[in-house]
Structure 1
Amino acid sequence: MQKPIVFFDIDGTLLTEEKTIPDTTKKAVRLLQEKGIHTVIATGRVPKMFYWIQKELNIDSYVSMNGQYVVFEGKEIYANPIDPKRLQSLSEMTESNGHALAYCSHNDFKASVKNHPFIESGFDALMMSYPEVNPEFYKHTSIYQGHLYCKDKDEKLYFDHFPDLSFVKWHDCAYDILPKGASKAVGIRKMLEVLDMKIEDSFAFGDGLNDLEMLTEAGTGIAMGNAVPEAKAVADIITTSSSNNGILNGLIQVGLLERDLVL
């Protein structure tokens, strides 16, 4: 039997609300690795935002920016940039509406404007500082994901004007921007193809709206106890919260770790 592969979301999954990694999660990931089980990060974040997590957990494979940029054991295996012309249209529209954007490349991210309250709120939630500002960043490098910052009442302006793009809410007044059809599930499929693995040998942990496709696609989808209702509805299993041994308990529940050997 082929060794399974486990995909982990970051915020609300590997990390608690305080943006820390529980000791039980560190132990669980280490035990998987000792058993020869692939451990992979699957996140909406830019790689630059989670290098410290990779180092802490000894994980060098990831599905980042919601499936737009995929790396296995340090090697890029899939990249799907957004059309620069669409980004230019988005930039012009947000500027005229007083809204804001952030642009995410494979190794960096920039904001379109200074001191925007919605950007401040979003990055405060991630416990990160305000990004550097470069409104022309998308003109000089490949962009795999954008962030739109606007109020809920204004979201439809962008939904209607850009039907070829997806807008996935991740915080109050903050949305990930992706090509239509992009998701963590796409990135997972790309990685499984490279590894010649079957989907039924995959497991995925998540908690947010951007995890729905991943939880549905994986052989076994595991929603955290703190997950949004939509994630719990599509998951095969619901574990405890990220701050209450959720990763460890979920891995025991699906049989990847043995309770007697862990606790």
Structure 2
Amino acid sequence: MAYKIAFFDIDGTLVNEEKQIPQDAIAAIHELKARGVEAVIATGRAPYFFKPIADELGIDSYVSLNGAYVVYKGKAIFKRAIPRDSMEQLVRHAASNNHFLVFEGEQFYYSNTEDHPFMLSSVDSLKVDRPHYDPAFWESSEVFQVFLHCGEAEEHLYIGSIPSLRFVRWHPNAMDVLPTDGSKALGIQYLLESLGIKPEEAVAFGDGLNDKEMLEYVGLGIAMGNSHPELLVHADYVTTSVDEEGIRNGLIHAGLLEAQA
């Protein structure tokens, strides 16, 4: 199969634990693009969380916010905000459990707590600016995704509690909240259809629980060697880790780059 496009998760895939892109990954992406293959970021992050990464790689197309916000060559082509009634239910339910939220908008993100340690630890792990404080942001602006801050032992309070929403853990203290049918795969599907590319002509790289649908949807789903164990059964191939030339080795397996002598 001659693949035409490749999607790359960020955390644990393009960047390592230090949130740095290994030089071999940078070189591999540039070589891929030079061969005429589209390189697209596919991440749970919001665009304002990864602009420096995209700029360093020379990538201006992305599926962000777990499929809710899609940009192709710098132009937004798909937006899907969480319905207001679902937001109201979530805010009320989280408050009843004394858990705090971060609302991810189009231009920036806002928290309904200023200094809770769970919020600070999850946000700081991304090495990005901290959110502004605005508990009412969701009432007047579109929210594309939410961080819900609670420990794993409290996860059961939310799973299935609001039928229109799903909860995916990405940090010991935080879960992504998105529409029940939302996923990176949904955004990828929209982008591929707009480009006239078939799913089987696409490759995707990921390492986390929010990459399951994406790896299953494309023609070749590649899991990083440092992936969450539960992701591996959803992948067609497991490459090496992010710090062990995982991107390059995966692209070689896909036939998109040649092995170096």
Q: TM-score range by the shorter chain?
A: over 0.9
* Counterpart for residue 17 of structure 1: 17
Partners of 1:208 and 1:30 in 2: how far apart? 24
Pair 3,158 (structure 1): closer, same or farther in 2 beyond 3 Å:
closer
* Counterpart for residue 203 of structure 1: 203
* Counterpart for residue 116 of structure 2: 116
* Counterpart for residue 77 of structure 1: 77
What are the residue-to-residue correspondences of 1:110-189 with 2, within 5 Å?
Answer: 110-189=110-189
* Counterpart for residue 250 of structure 1: 250
- Alignment RMSD: 1.4
My pick for the range that moved more, 176-185 or 76-85, is 76-85
My pick for the range that moved more, 214-223 or 98-107, is 98-107
Partners of 1:3 and 1:239 in 2: how far apart? 17
TM-score for the superposition, normalised by structure 1: 0.95
Identical aligned pairs, as a percentage?
Answer: 46
Q: Tell me if the contact between 2:3 and 2:203 (Cα under 8 Å) persists in the aligned partners.
A: no
* Counterpart for residue 67 of structure 2: 67
Partners of 2:247 and 2:57 in 1: how far apart? 13
Q: Deviations over 1:57-96 (max 9, x none)?
A: 0000000010011111111111111011221222222223
Partners of 1:238 and 1:253 in 2: how far apart? 10
Q: Tell me if the contact between 1:168 and 1:177 (Cα under 8 Å) persists in the aligned partners.
A: yes
Q: Tell me if the contact between 1:16 and 1:242 (Cα under 8 Å) persists in the aligned partners.
A: yes
Unpaired segments of 5 or more residues in structure 2? none
Give the CA deviation at 1:106. 2.1
Partners of 1:16 and 1:2 in 2: how far apart? 29
Partners of 2:63 and 2:130 in 1: how far apart? 24
Q: Deviations over 1:34-57 (max 9, x none)?
A: 111100000000000000011100
Partners of 2:206 and 2:151 in 1: how far apart? 25
Count of matched residue pairs: 261
Q: Tell me if the contact between 1:3 and 1:36 (Cα under 8 Å) persists in the aligned partners.
A: no
